[in-house]
C-alpha cells in the first residue's frame, strides 16, 4: 500500500504564503496522479490541485494564479505552493494519491489564514 504524510500547514496572515509537502512511501510505483484537497468545517472536501504522471496539472478556479502544485520524483514528494492566501483558504488540506483503482489519503494539515 501507499502511505502519505503531509506537512507545512500553519497560521498565516492574508496575503502571505505557505508551502505544503506530501511525502509518499510504500508502493509508490502504483501512483498515477496526486493532488491536494481541502475541507473547511461543515463543508465538503474539494479538489484544490492535482498533477498527473505526464506533468499535467489542474486547479480549482478559486486558486488559479495563486497556488502551484509540483512534484519531486527523486524524493517521492508533492508540493503545494500557496501564495496570496485569503481567509477563505482556511481549511484542513489533505494529500491524495490515485493509481490502479486505489485511493490514498494523508492525515491532513491545518491551514489558517487570518484577516
**What's the pLDDT score for residue 30?**
81
**What's the pLDDT score for residue 1?**
86
Q: Is 74 helix (H, G, I), strand (E, B) or coil?
A: helix
pLDDT per residue, tens digit, the chain (115 aa), is 899 999 999 999 999 999 999 999 998 888 889 999 999 999 999 999 999 988 899 999 999 999 999 999 888 899 999 999 999 999 999 999 998 889 999 999 999 999 9
For residues 16-48, one letter each, b for 16 or more C-beta atoms within 10 angstroms of the residue's C-beta and e for the rest, the string is eebebbbbbeeeeeebebbbbbbeeeeeeeeeb
**What's the pLDDT score for residue 54?**
83
Amino acid at each position: 500500500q501507499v502511505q502519505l504524510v503531509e506537512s507545512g500547514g500553519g497560521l498565516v496572515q492574508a496575503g502571505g504564503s505557505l508551502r505544503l509537502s506530501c511525502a509518499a512511501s510504500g508502493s509508490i510505483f502504483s501512483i498515477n496522479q496526486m493532488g491536494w484537497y481541502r475541507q473547511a468545517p461543515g463543508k465538503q472536501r474539494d479538489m484544490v490541485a492535482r498533477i498527473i504522471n505526464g506533468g499535467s496539472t489542474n486547479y480549482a478556479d478559486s486558486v488559479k494564479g495563486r497556488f502551484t502544485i509540483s512534484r519531486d520524483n527523486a524524493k517521492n514528494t508533492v508540493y503545494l505552493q500557496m501564495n496570496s492566501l485569503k481567509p477563505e483558504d482556511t481549511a484542513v488540506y489533505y494529500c491524495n494519491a490515485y493509481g490502479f483503482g486505489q485511493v490514498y489519503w494523508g492525515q491532513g494539515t491545518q491551514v489558517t489564514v487570518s484577516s
